[in-house]
Amino acid sequence: MSDKKADKHKKICDEACEGRGSLRMKIPIRSGTYLLLALGISFIVIGAFRSEFETILLNALILCASCIGLR
């Protein structure tokens, strides 16, 4: 184990022994956020396979009479 790693390990263990810290690993993002991100990416992939981006493009390119307020 390198000195830097050993120092970090000692610091975490010492803090836990003194009741100040936790040995629990700190994950950068909550699992709920991971789940939502995974869900979002899956939906986008499904949407891409269903040619939804082409539909969005065609809808956006057409001059929208409702947006402008035409008869």
Partner 1 sequence: MTSKPIADRHRSAVSSGPAVNSRPAVNKRTQVQLASLVFANSYVLSLLKFCPAPVLNCHACPLAVMACPIGSLQHFVGQRRFPFALVGFFTITGALIGRMTCGWACPFGFLQDILFKIKLRRKKLQVRIRHSAWKVARYPIFIGLVIIGAFATGEPLFCKLCPAGGLEAGLPLVAIDPSIRAMAGTLFIVKMAIVLVFIVTAILIKRPFCRFICPLGTIYSPFNKVSYVKLKVDNELCNECGACRAACPMDIDPYLDANSKDCIRCLECTSCPVIKVKYGTSAE
Q: Which is nearer to partner 1, 16 or 44 (CB)?
A: 44
- Which residues are near partner 1 by CB under 8 A? 22, 24, 26-33, 36-37, 39-48, 50, 52-57, 59-61, 63-71
Tell me the closest approach of the beta carbon of residue 9 to partner 1, in angstroms: 17
Which CB contacts under 8 angstroms, 24+ apart, belong to 4-11?
none
Q: Which is nearer to partner 1, 6 or 64 (CB)?
A: 64
Cα 44 to Cα 35, 38, 40, 47, distances in angstroms: 14, 10, 6, 5
